[in-house]
Structures are given as structure tokens and as C-alpha cells.
């Protein structure tokens, strides 16, 4: 069944059920993803004078670790999501995040920039994050606003539409300043996913289509396949992580 983004039941997205299923413990896929993104951002920012950066995690939902990967480099991180319950979850986490997220921060501490973060991650997360309920497609009006960005399991997990997948990738990348580093994660060939008892749609895209969508507005792209088919749930072939830099083309 085809389902557009505006037709999916985002008001029913249950962040507790989502965390329980996906982020209750650190799994091998998380380890790999964190180490890929940590290296990408640390390599970039270590040599950059243009800090502090302004970050955005698009479709943040009930996952804090994409924002964690940007924490040492940013004085502001927007956490954008369209679901009201995810907004409430993120606002509560902003006050003081659940102890379960500490294990994800620990993975990042393999790099000294994270391990030596002044004041520690909890205080920093609370100070720099800005929770915003909103539609990523409206990022069209915020071109070149953020200087680092993440978008994890969103563009392919918001509808069945190939056009909306491509538009989501485009909106994410064009919201970044030229040269900005980014990391994006995808479920390859996803058939949709359940959060608690509610089903959410996905767009069936493979690694080549993902890379092609990113390449329109990015340079220096590295693609990584992470994990085995159906490891965290039925109905996908691999997790895909893409790292790169917003291009200067348009």
C-alpha cells in the first residue's frame, strides 16, 4: 500500500516503544555506525578554525546519539521532528537524558574530543539542543543554515514514495552550508516498520539509489554497509551509512 508522508500516523509514534526496540542496548550495528560518524566529524573539525558549528539532526525522533556525534563541535543543535510525542520525548531528554544513552556516549569517547568535552555530555546536551517540532520538507526555506548535520533512518522511513525520499535527502543537504560535513543512515530495501502496534511506511531503495540521491548535492561521499539482513527487525537488507560534505554546486 502506498502512503505519503502526510498520510502516515506520526501522532501515534510511540517513543518509548521505539527506544525499547531499537536503543535499549548498544548493538554491533550501533558500534559500527558511531565509529564511522565519529571519525568523519572528528577528522573534519580537528583541523577547522570555523568552530563552533551549528548542527541539525533531521527526524531526530527517539534517538539521541546522532546529536551526540555533533556535541563537541556545536554551540547549537536543532533536533527536528514532526511527531508530537517525539517532541515531548526529546524535551524530557533535554532536561536530563535517560541513563541508557550513556553507553552510546561511551562509544564516542574513543576519540579525545568527546572524552574531554568540558562539563560532560549531559550538561552540554541540555544547553545546546533546541527541540523543534516541524516538517523536514519545510527546510526548503532554510537553505544553507546549518554547518553540520545528521539524518538517521528518516528519508527512506517517512513514506513509500521515491519522490519524497529524494526530496527529503535534498532538503537535508540544501539546509547545510557548502562544505558542511554530514552523516546520514538508511535502511536498505525496507518494507516498513512497526513501532509498538503501529505500522509506519518505508520507501524501497538500494545503496546505489541512496548514493545517487546524495550525490546531487554532496561531495567526498563515503558509503558503508552495516549489519546483516533483518538483524534488528524483519524487512530490510542492510543499514547504509553515508558520510560526506555538502557540495557547492547549487
Ligand X SMILES: C[S@@+](CC[C@H](N)C(=O)[O-])C[C@H]1O[C@@H](n2cnc3c(N)ncnc32)[C@H](O)[C@@H]1O
Q: What is the contact surface with ligand X in residues (CB under 6 A)?
A: 5, 10, 13, 22, 59-61, 63, 80-83, 86, 135-137, 152-154, 157-158
Classify each residue of 41-53 as buried b or exposed e, where b means 16 or more C-beta atoms within 10 Å of its C-beta: bbebbeeeeeeeb
Contacts of 66 (CB under 8 A, 6+ apart): 37, 57, 60, 150, 151, 152, 183
> Residue 230: which region, alpha, beta or left (left: phi > 0; alpha: psi -120 to 50)?
left
Q: Which is nearer to ligand X, 61 or 72 (CB)?
A: 61
Q: Which is nearer to ligand X, 83 or 129 (CB)?
A: 83
Q: Which is nearer to ligand X, 219 or 231 (CB)?
A: 231
Q: Which is nearer to ligand X, 134 or 178 (CB)?
A: 134
CB of 3 to ligand X, least distance (A): 11
CB of 48 to ligand X, least distance (A): 25
Q: What is the CA radius of gyration of the chain?
A: 16
Q: Which is nearer to ligand X, 133 or 219 (CB)?
A: 133
Q: Taking CB positions, which residue lies at the least distance from ligand X?
A: 61
CB of 57 to ligand X, least distance (A): 7
Count, residues in the chain:
250
Cell of 191: 518494507
CB of 195 to ligand X, least distance (A): 8
Q: Which is nearer to ligand X, 15 or 244 (CB)?
A: 15
Tell me the CA distances in angstroms from 246 to 43, 68, 141, 174, 219, one per residue in order. 16, 20, 17, 8, 6
CB of 54 to ligand X, least distance (A): 18
CB of 30 to ligand X, least distance (A): 10
CB of 56 to ligand X, least distance (A): 11
Q: Which is nearer to ligand X, 39 or 137 (CB)?
A: 137
Amino acid at each position: 500500500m502506498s502512503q505519503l508522508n502526510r498520510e502516515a500516523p506520526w501522532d501515534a509514534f510511540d517513543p518509548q516503544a521505539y527506544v525499547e526496540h531499537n536503543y535499549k542496548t548498544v548493538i554491533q550495528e550501533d558500534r559500527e555506525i558511531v565509529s564511522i560518524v565519529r571519525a568523519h566529524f572528528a577528522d573534519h573539525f580537528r583541523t577547522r578554525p570555523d568552530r563552533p558549528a551549528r548542527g541539525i539532526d533531521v527526524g531526530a525522533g527517539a534517538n539521541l546519539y546522532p546529536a551526540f556525534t555533533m556535541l563537541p563541535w556545536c554551540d547549537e543543535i536543532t533536533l527536528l521532528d514532526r511527531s508530537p510525542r517525539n517532541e515531548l520525548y526529546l524535551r524530557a531528554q533535554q532536561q536530563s537524558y535517560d541513563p541508557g544513552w550513556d553507553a552510546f556516549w561511551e562509544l564516542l569517547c574513543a576519540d579525545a574530543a568527546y572524552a574531554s568535552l568540558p562539563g560532560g555530555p549531559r550538561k552540554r546536551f541540555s544547553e545546546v539542543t533546541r527541540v523543534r517540532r516541524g516538517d523536514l520538507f519545510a527546510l526548503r526555506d532554510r537553505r544553507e543554515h546549518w554547518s553540520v548535520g545528521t539524518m538517521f533512518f528518516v528519508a527512506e522511513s517517512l513514506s513509500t514514495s521515491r519522490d519524497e525520499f529524494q526530496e527529503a535527502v535534498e532538503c537535508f543537504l540544501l539546509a547545510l552550508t557548502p562544505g558542511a560535513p554530514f552523516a546520514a543512515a538508511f535502511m536498505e530495501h525496507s518494507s516498513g516498520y512497526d513501532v509498538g502496534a503501529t505500522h509506519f511506511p518505508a520507501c524501497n531503495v538500494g545503496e546505489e539509489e541512496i548514493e545517487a540521491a546524495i550525490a546531487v548535492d554532496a561531495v567526498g561521499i563515503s558509503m558503508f554497509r552495516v549489519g546483516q539482513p533483518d538483524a534488528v527487525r524483519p524487512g530490510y537488507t542492510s543499514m547504509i551509512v553515508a558520510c560526506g560534505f555538502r557540495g557547492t554546486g547549487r
